[in-house]
Amino acid sequence: LGLGDQLHARAEKSGFKEHVIVGNALVIMYSKTGNIKEANKIFSDMIFRETITWNAMICGYSHHGLGKEALTVFQDMLVAGVCPNYVTFVGVLSACAHSCLVQEGFYYLNQLMEQMGIEPGLEHYTCFVGLLSRAGLLDEAENFMRSTPVKWDVIAWRTLLNACHVHRNYGIGERIAET
């Protein structure tokens, strides 16, 4: 972070801060180091934003459990006329999971992604399993995993198994462990 702060100061002094690539790098750096306030300040000050810029802020908020803020940025992105992509929806679904927004997550996964022409992938489905699991809808999460034709990885199964432990639903946990 110290080196990142130095680069940030150097970018400001040399006038490169206005370049979208530099702004993106700063938003990503501050988001990844947990300084969401500074990431948001840089994001807000940027004159030009591209999909990567929006994704960096959405995923930064989402990664730090600020789901509602991430969804607000996503709505601003749509209003600005910027087209979301595959990565955008990973951040959006993760934000829904952090905020236990099941209906919103279902809408984004099944309707909005289709409207945008984005085919859901394993990351999206895993975020949705995380959303259902976090909301305590373990039966629904298990049914979703068993009915969706996806080659699930260990992360998705571990997400559901951990939720079984948190919600003390050992029956589903035992079924999953036997799978």
Phi, psi of 140 (to 5 degrees): -65, -40
Q: What is the DSSP letter of 112?
A: I
- pLDDT > 90 in the chain, percent: 81
Q: Can you spell out the DSSP letters for 67-93?
A: HHHHHHHHHHHHHTTPPP-HHHHHHHH
| Distance set, CA 37 to CA 54, 82, 121 (Å) | 15, 23, 31
Taking the C-alpha atoms of residue 173 and residue 26, their distance in angstroms, rounded to an integer, is 42
* Segment 44-60, tens digit of pLDDT: 999 999 999 999 999 99
> Which residues make Cβ contacts (< 8 Å) with residue 103, sequence separation at least 6?
none
Q: What is the pLDDT of residue 117?
A: 92
The helix or strand, by DSSP H or E, that contains position 50, with its residue range, turns out to be none
Per residue in 6-47, pLDDT tens?
A: 777 887 788 776 789 999 999 999 999 999 999 999 999 999
CA-CA distance, 75 to 34, in Å (whole number)? Answer: 23
Beta-carbon contacts of residue 96 (< 8 Å; ≥ 6 apart) = 67, 71, 102, 104, 105, 108, 127, 131
Q: What is the pLDDT of residues 67-90, one digit of tens each?
A: 999 999 999 999 999 999 999 999
DSSP notation for 13-39? HHTGGGSHHHHHHHHHHHHHTT-HHHH
What predicted TM-score, i.e. pTM, was given to this entire model? 0.90
Cα separation, 161 vs 145, whole angstroms = 12
Position 19 scores a pLDDT of: 84
- Computed on alpha carbons and rounded to an integer, the radius of gyration of the chain in Å comes to 18
Residue range 147-168: average pLDDT?
92
